């Protein structure tokens, strides 16, 4: 995949305005001569929220919002059709989206890469779905973070 890199270069020495300049990996002598200092800031764009040292990456909140919208819609359908639904979300090796979506939507089960299921997960899941359908008069929502 290709990435676009840009330099943000101030119009004035006080840096109140920024100029977006395509960056091709080399700071030219001309660019260096125009500016005494050059501050480069990198922002991580990952919907997985899997970058260490950040609270939230660009795109993670939007992805989470869409997942919760979809889960809300599926919950209504699961109840009206008396079915269990599995929602598979992006995640690679990070279950952030799956866990937060499960908490926000009160999902009945969540699978994440950080916590592989126990050996008896099928029996435990079956018991959980039966209890949810009997006690709460609703049908299960499972969220799975795929690799």
Active site residues: 48
Which among 46, 61, 26, 129 has a CA at the least distance from the CA of 94?
Answer: 46
Q: What's the order of all strands across the beta sheet hosting 85-89? A: 85-89, 141-145, 109-111
Instruction: Give 35's contacts (C-beta < 8 A, 6+ positions apart).
Output: 9, 10
By DSSP bridging, strand 141-145 and strand 109-111 are parallel
With a CB cutoff of 8 Å and minimum separation 6, the contacts of 17 are 10, 11
Gyration radius from the chain CA atoms: 23
* Token duo for residue 125: 């899941």
């Amino acid at each position: 995949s290709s990435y676009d890199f840009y330099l943000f270069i101030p119009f004035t020495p006080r840096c109140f305005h920024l100029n977006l300049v395509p960056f091709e990996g080399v700071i030219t002598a001309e660019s260096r001569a125009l500016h005494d200092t050059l501050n480069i800031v990198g922002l991580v764009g990952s919907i997985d929220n899997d970058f260490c040292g950040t609270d939230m990456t660009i795109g993670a909140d939007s992805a989470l919002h869409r997942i919760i919208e979809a889960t809300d819609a599926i919950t209504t359908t699961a109840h009206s059709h008396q079915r269990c639904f599995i929602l598979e979300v992006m995640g690679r090796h990070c279950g952030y989206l799956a866990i937060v979506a499960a908490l926000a939507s009160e999902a009945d089960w969540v699978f994440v890469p950080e916590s592989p299921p126990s050996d008896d997960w099928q029996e435990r899941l079956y018991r959980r779905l039966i209890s949810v359908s009997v006690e709460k008069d609703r049908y299960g929502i499972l969220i799975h973070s795929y690799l």
